[in-house]
Amino acid sequence: MKGIVQERFGPPDVLELVDIDRPEVSAGEVLVRVRAAALNPYDWHMMRGDPYVARLMGGVGLTRPKCRVAGIDVAGHVESVGPDVRGLRPGDEVLGFCHGSFAEYARTTEDLLVRKPAGLTFEQAAAVPMAAVTALRGIRTVGGVRAGRRVLVNGAAGGVGTFAVQIATGLNAEVTGVCGTRNLDLVRSLGAAHVVDHTREDFTAGPERYDVILDNVGNHPLSRLRRVLAPAGTLVANGGGSPGRLFGAVGSMLGVIAVDGFVRQRLRTILPSAPAGPTQEDLLAVTSLIEAGGLTPVVGQSYALADTAEGLRQLEQGHTRGKAVITVA
């Protein structure tokens, strides 16, 4: 089978489309025939081994990638199942989390897959797992958003942001989305009551105060974000930082945690792997919202498997809107 492989850390050029062996499944595992996979900031962090501190925390690899085949979000058909798999059978259409999803076949465990909503294409389904779960945790679980709350989503046109605006709107919050000029209409169409063009206006300099801020960008100092946060408001920091840094987003998040104990405002972080990794319950929660008509994936760009490196290059440079996905013929 074909797969995107990297033998060393580095820029997108380290990725190669090569012939590799098809994975074999064991007890509790599922082999997925990949139809589409999403591109995430997670993927280029793994590609570059960035930030360096992440290499010491496990899961990435110290001097070379721990996982040779890239990718984490998947949508496709169940090809085969191992012993003890009870809820899925060959032919089922699924979405979920699957290491090595930038390939024609990928292996994962049953508890990291759910059935694909019938109304979604495979490209839309692949856009769901990491971004939608992160948005749900940031808005509902960590942010505690409820009706009437004033919510600001920084990076509202990105993968997590497009889901977050819809989820907060569905909770009857008053949502402000921050994005670039070309994405203002998109963010409005997702339910934002107000939009801020970050190329013309700094939302941290305005008079408005927000009950919850979900920051997907990390381009403002913590002191500036706290300035527009209500006295008892909640800041949810989701990443930020840039490639090549020693600590990157990890350092920014540690700073948020350190300040939290000294202020009245609630300063929180949200990582897709926290507190106990993505779960099937997370996936069921977001697919339930999709099936109820309250959540629609936004797919901005689509690339062939052979063009995965170019897709990650564009993602790394911030040139995507919504989710970028890989289609596997």
One digit per residue, pLDDT tens: the chain, 329 residues?
999 999 888 888 899 999 999 999 999 999 999 999 999 988 877 787 765 555 454 556 555 676 789 899 999 999 999 999 999 999 999 999 999 999 999 999 999 999 999 999 999 999 999 999 999 999 999 999 999 999 999 999 999 999 999 999 999 999 999 999 999 999 999 999 999 999 999 999 999 999 999 999 988 999 999 999 999 999 999 875 444 454 445 556 667 776 767 788 999 988 644 335 678 999 999 999 999 999 999 999 999 999 999 999 999 888 789 999 999 97
DSSP annotation of 204 reads G
Instruction: Please give the DSSP secondary-structure letter assigned to residue 157.
Output: T
In this structure, whether the domain defined by 131-269 belongs to CATH 3.20.20.150 is answered with no
| pLDDT at 246 (0 to 100) | 44
The CATH code of domain 2-128+297-327 reads 3.90.180.10
Backbone angles phi, psi at 69, to 5 degrees: -100, 125
The answer to whether the Cα torsion of 221, 225, 228, 230 is positive or negative is: negative
Q: Do domains 2-128+297-327 and 131-269 have the same CATH topology?
A: no
Hey, where are the domains in the chain? Answer: 2-128+297-327, 131-269
Cα 273 to Cα 24: distance, rounded to the nearest angstrom: 25
Residue written as token pair 């994005």: 179
Which H or E run includes 185?
helix 184-189
Report which of 166, 184, 163 is spatially closest to residue 175, judged by C-alpha positions.
Answer: 166
**Residue 60: per-residue pLDDT:** 62
